[in-house]
Amino acid sequence: MFRAEAGPGGTLPFSRFMELALYHPAVGYYRRDQARVGLGGNTDFFTASDSGPVFGELVSAAGVKLLGGRHPRDHAFVEIGAEPGRSVLAGVSHPFKRIQTLRVGEPLTIEGECVVFSNELFDAQPFVRTVYRGGRWHEVGVQLKVDHFVEVEWPTAAGETGAEGYRFDRPLAASKLAADLAAQPWRGLFVAFDYGKTLSELVENTPLGTARAYYRHGQSNNLLARPGEQDLTCHVCWDWLVDALTRHGFAPPKLQFQEAFFIHHAGRLIADLSTAEAGRLSRRKLALFQLLHPAQMGQKFQVLHALR
């Protein structure tokens, strides 16, 4: 597939390499019939959804509160990018009009009154890799050398100044996805769980970039290994997502750590669950600990939310 795309030059931008490696209909990582997410040894990473129904219960409770005076039964709950056979509200009692799940490869058609939800969707979008050398930015591409891939570079028009050797992995497709979702004819609540940084953090505090690969629960910097068999990801730029939402009529978006988001917007459910499970170390209590504790997922993930 790479040879067919690259042609005689044998070179593609990294963003296109990543698009093929993750989303090609025949060989892409997210399109193949294989286990990816979970706690087992044959999976590559786990998400908040693997904590069980508690995550969905918290998401539902927070969504209801954030809708304010709008009644949840007037809103469809639309989940974007869920794994096959999965849904965050599967088996969870909820007050929404209906559940709609849009999976990888399906058209993004959203309309009416909605709660639009995603979990680790934006970090998996193709990104542009750049490195600052000799007083200017260079884009990083991928070249096929006989039977293995190598990085190549060429000058690009990116305008920021940088430090020699500084890498900036630019999550441009994530920003475009946010704009595409916001441009759909719907109104309601946008909620995205993911990991990211501000633009200033990305250009000042991450000199090696934020790109990484995951395979069998191991993190690697070898992004060109195992194409189609490992996950590729980088931090999203929250400022760019905020801009995309604001341009399309959302009230000023708010960004919170996952821990703070749930405590502020699903606090009553947390209190009820803690009281009900006070006398024992249950699976539900362990799930709550995993989702809220700062050393677990509580501050590893952030939540961007906004109303329109």
Task: Say if residue 46's pLDDT is above 70.
Answer: no
From the number of C-beta atoms within 10 Å of its C-beta (0-12, 13-18, 19+), residue 199 rates as middle
Q: How many CB atoms lie within 10 A of CB 162?
A: 19
Residue 36 scores a pLDDT above 80: no
Q: Count other C-beta atoms under 10 Å from residue 283's C-beta.
A: 12
Identity of residue 132: Y
- At 41, the pLDDT band (50, 70, 90 cuts) reads low
Instruction: Give the CATH number for residue 277.
Output: 3.40.50.12710
Structurally, the chain folds into a number of domains equal to 1
What mean pLDDT do residues 281-294 have? 89
- Residue 188, domain member (yes or no): yes
SS3 30: coil
Residue with the bigger pLDDT between 227 and 159: it is: 227
pLDDT digits (tens, 9 = 90+) for 69-87: 899 999 999 999 987 778 9
Q: State how far the Cα of 238 lies from the Cα of 92, in Å rounded to an integer.
A: 29
* Percentage of residues of the chain with pLDDT beyond 90: 74
Beta-carbon count within 10 A of 207 CB: 13
Q: 218-223: long-range contacts at Cβ-Cβ below 8 A with a sequence spacing of 24 or more? A: 223/14, 223/18
- How many CB atoms neighbour CB 170 within 10 A? 21
CB 12: neighbour CB atoms within 10 A? 21
For the stretch 138-188, pLDDT in tens is 999 999 998 899 999 999 987 778 899 999 999 999 999 999 999 999 999
Share of the chain above pLDDT 70, in %: 97
Residue type present at position 256: Q
189, pLDDT greater than 90? yes
Least confident stretch, 4-8, 50-54, 172-176: 50-54
CA-CA distance, 31 to 24, in Å (whole number)?
7
Separation in Å, CA 168 to CA 161, 197, 200, 210: 11, 12, 11, 8
Asked if the structure places residue 99 within a domain, the reply is yes
Residue 278: inside a domain, yes or no? yes
Task: Report the pLDDT value the prediction gives residue 146, as an integer from 0 to 100.
Answer: 84
Domain that holds residue 285: 47-125+172-195+236-308
Q: How confident is the model at residue 43 (pLDDT cuts 50, 70, 90)?
A: confident
Q: 284, 277 in Cβ contact below 8 A?
A: yes
- Encode pLDDT of 238-266 as tens digits: 999 999 999 999 999 999 999 999 999 99
Among 137, 160, 134, 116, smallest CA distance to 304 is for 116
Whether 106 has a pLDDT exceeding 90, the answer reads: no
Q: Residue 39's pLDDT is what?
A: 64
Cα 21 to the center of its chain, rounded Å: 17
135 assigned to some structural domain = no
* Cα–Cα dist 227/224, whole Å: 6
pLDDT at 38: 65
Q: What pLDDT sits at residue 194? A: 97
In the chain, beta strands by DSSP E = 11-13, 76-80, 98-102, 112-119, 128-133, 136-145, 148-155, 167-170, 186-194, 196-197, 212-215, 218-220, 231-233, 236-237, 254-257, 302-307
Q: Under DSSP, is residue 65 helix (H, G, I), strand (E, B) or coil? A: helix
pLDDT at 283: 86
Judge contact between 230 and 211, C-beta under 8 A: no
| Mean of pLDDT over the chain | 92
In a domain, 230, yes or no: no
pLDDT of residue 44: 55
